[in-house]
Amino acid sequence: MPDPTATDLEQVVRSTLDPAAQDVVRERLQPLLVDLIDLSLTAKQYHWNVVGPSFRALHQQLDEVTDQYRMWLDQVAERMTSVGLAPDGRVQRVAGDSPADPAASSWVHQVDVVDAMTDRIHAVARATRERLDGLGDSDVASEDLLIEILDGLEMQLWMFSAQRA
């Protein structure tokens, strides 16, 4: 049997969504996937490089949020797949599409880590809230997933921003 082409493979995963609804889901979930991959990599980078009197607590908190981002990004990618869309989590895509500046590649004081994570989580939470607009008209399951992720992001935003006092 000959190898199928990419066009042939697009027909393999069936979807209950019509093409217009798939387009809406793609335009909302693909950028969220990029945001969550970027957040997971950023949190892990800070996890390795944070310094300061509250090192241990922040080091552990960064591991916890990294685990959440990885769980959510997998859910987003699998939701895309379940409606017939191929998720793109390649490093080239993430680096090209992420609006955030890269995390520092050296030691970072805990105050700066908290500030950076607060700002990044805030930006992703706002973008996620905007992506909800009208999504339920095309796919309520994807809307539910984004609501769950937004709830978690806003909880993290509170936890990080409370450390700025």
| Residues 24, 28, 31: CA angle, nearest 5 degrees | 140
- CATH H superfamily, domain 18-164: Ferritin, core subunit, four-helix bundle (1.20.1260.10)
Segment holding 108, helix H or strand E:
strand 108-109
> What pLDDT is attached to residue 14?
83
Question: Three-state DSSP class for 87?
Answer: coil
pLDDT tens, the chain, 165 aa long:
556 665 565 667 788 899 999 999 999 999 999 999 999 999 999 999 999 999 999 999 999 999 999 999 999 999 999 999 999 999 999 999 988 888 989 999 999 999 999 999 999 999 999 999 999 999 999 999 999 999 999 999 999 999 988
Q: What is the pLDDT of residue 165?
A: 83
**Looking at residue 3, what is its pLDDT?**
64
* Residue boundaries of the structural domains of the chain: 18-164
- Of 120, 104, 119, the residue nearest 51 (C-alpha): 104
pLDDT of residue 8: 61
Q: Nearest to residue 21, comparing CAs of 78, 72, 80?
A: 80
